[in-house]
């Protein structure tokens, strides 16, 4: 069964304490892996797309990496405003279309 | 990134009434839009794929007659929750793919609509 699993479910960090969020997947024929940030009561905000193993993307304090089985979202020296739920989504293709499934997300809390 | 607008942001209605939620792509055309439902502290559950000019494709377990989807133009899709009941209360989010980026696959999301059925 195609699955996307994110860990940990929740992560509490002190401001400046770097860490990583994990997204593991079991789909075959990956078209792309996406990271989104979601604030409470809001729609997800697009962060990154990764297409192939070894690829890395950076944006401010965030860096996303991809292997054949998982992706990591590294947060360097986080600030309280980085607190949010981070969602990972995986897209794969099949005859006639494509499908995207989301992980359950990691809720990040950064304390000043 | 591309901008998707969703309206209303929140709505409260009485049981048995119908509610319409609009999803618009503001700066790009979208042949395909997606409607999701999200429960508290859970991930997004795809309800249906909205295709411009044709019938929507519903995911297994989603009632077509309960959740009516119309995609009349390249910039607008609507979700109508018919004869709403308290169990339909949820956060509904739409997303769209920019047709100019058909090879990239990024989905751009609306702000979501919080539906509360009394």
Q: What is the pLDDT of residue A91?
A: 87
The interface residues of chain B toward chain A in range 50-89, judged by CB-CB distance below 8 A, are none
Does B6 contact A at CB distance below 8 Å? yes
**Mean pLDDT, residues B23-34:** 90
Cα distance between residue A25 and residue A67, in whole Å: 10
Helix, strand, or coil here: B84?
A: coil
Q: What is the pLDDT of residue B48?
A: 94
Name beta bridge partners: B38. B44, B91
Q: pLDDT by residue (tens digit) across B37-59?
A: 998 888 899 999 998 888 999 99
Q: Which pLDDT band, with edges at 50, 70 and 90, does B99 fall under?
A: low
**Mean pLDDT, residues B13-28:** 95
Q: pLDDT by residue (tens digit) across A2-58?
A: 689 999 999 999 999 999 999 999 987 888 999 999 999 899 999 999 999 999 999
How would you classify residue B61: left for phi > 0, otherwise alpha for psi between -120 and 50, otherwise beta? Answer: left
Interface test with A, best of B23, B43, B94, B95 (most A CBs within 10 A): B43
Residue A1 has pLDDT above 80, yes or no: no
- The tokens of A79 are what? 């600030």
Cα distance between residue A104 and residue A85, in whole Å: 9
The set of residues, in sequence order, having a beta carbon less than 8 Å from that of B40 and lying 6+ positions away, is none
Cα distance between residue A64 and residue A47, in whole Å: 9
**Which stretch of A37-41, A66-70, A94-98, B94-98 has the lowest confidence by average pLDDT?**
A94-98
Interface contact flag, B44 A104, Cβ < 8 Å: no
| Planar angle of CA B3, B5, B7, nearest 5 degrees | 175
Asked whether the beta carbons of B81 and B115 are under 8 A apart, the reply is yes
- The tokens of A52 are what? 């192939």
Residue B103 has pLDDT above 70, yes or no: no
């Amino acid at each position: 069964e195609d699955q996307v699993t994110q860990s940990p479910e929740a992560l509490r960090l002190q401001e400046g304490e770097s860490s990583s969020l994990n997204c593991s997947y079991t789909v075959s024929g990956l078209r792309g892996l996406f990271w989104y940030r979601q604030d409470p009561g809001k729609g997800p905000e697009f962060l990154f797309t990764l297409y192939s193993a070894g690829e890395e993307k950076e944006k401010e304090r965030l860096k996303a990496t991809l292997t054949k089985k998982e992706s990591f979202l590294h947060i360097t020296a986080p600030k309280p405003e980085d607190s949010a739920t981070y969602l990972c989504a995986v897209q794969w293709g099949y005859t006639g279309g494509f499908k995207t499934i989301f992980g359950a997300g990691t809720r990040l809390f950064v304390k000043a | 990134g591309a901008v998707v607008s969703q309206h209303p942001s929140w709505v409260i209605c009485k049981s048995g009434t119908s509610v319409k939620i609009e999803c618009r792509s503001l700066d790009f055309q979208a042949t395909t839009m997606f409607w999701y439902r999200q429960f508290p502290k859970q991930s997004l559950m795809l309800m249906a794929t909205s295709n411009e000019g044709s019938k929507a494709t519903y995911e297994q377990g989603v009632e077509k007659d309960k959740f009516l989807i119309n995609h009349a133009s390249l910039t607008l899709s609507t979700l109508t929750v018919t004869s709403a009941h308290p169990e339909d209360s949820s956060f509904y989010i739409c997303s769209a793919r920019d047709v100019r980026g058909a090879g990239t696959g990024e989905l751009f999301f609306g702000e979501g609509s919080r539906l509360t059925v009394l």
